[in-house]
Amino acid sequence: SHGGNPTTRIGVARHVYVTETQAEAERIAARGYAAWYENFIHLWRQHGVVDPAYPATLDAALAADAVIAGTPEHVAAEIARQVDVAGLNYFVCRFAYGDLSFEESSASLELFAGEVMPRFA
């Protein structure tokens, strides 16, 4: 079992965007993540605090495993990889972030529920 002791909780939270093509997922996630990051970092900057350790761009966030964007196959494989590498026993997905519309977020969530989650049942 992942995480060793089943009573020990080891988890992560990730921004997730799922759609039919990798390019579209990354385009939409980049826009949403940029808006989320600017809102998140606003007060840190306003008070002169050095930026916390959050990647400032989607490319950096993807490289740091902070965001997962892609096709259902890609998203499932990436979640499985992160669970395996870190020994996770729970995984929190953020589907609504930044300036993603309700339609974009709900379409991503529906695709995740229908095509990604069953792979972990």
Residues 6+ apart with CB under 8 A from 4: 87
- Residue 28 CB coordination number (10 Å): 22
Amino acid at 114: G
How many angstroms separate the Cα of 38 from the Cα of each of 9, 54, 76, 78, 108? 30, 11, 28, 26, 22
Q: How many CA atoms lie within 13 A of 28 on its CB side?
A: 26
Domain ranges of the chain: 11-120
pTM of the full structure: 0.89
Q: What is the pLDDT of residues 17-54, one digit of tens each?
A: 999 999 999 999 999 999 999 999 998 889 988 777 78
pLDDT digits (tens, 9 = 90+) for 41-50: 998 889 988 7
Strands 67-70 and 90-94: unpaired
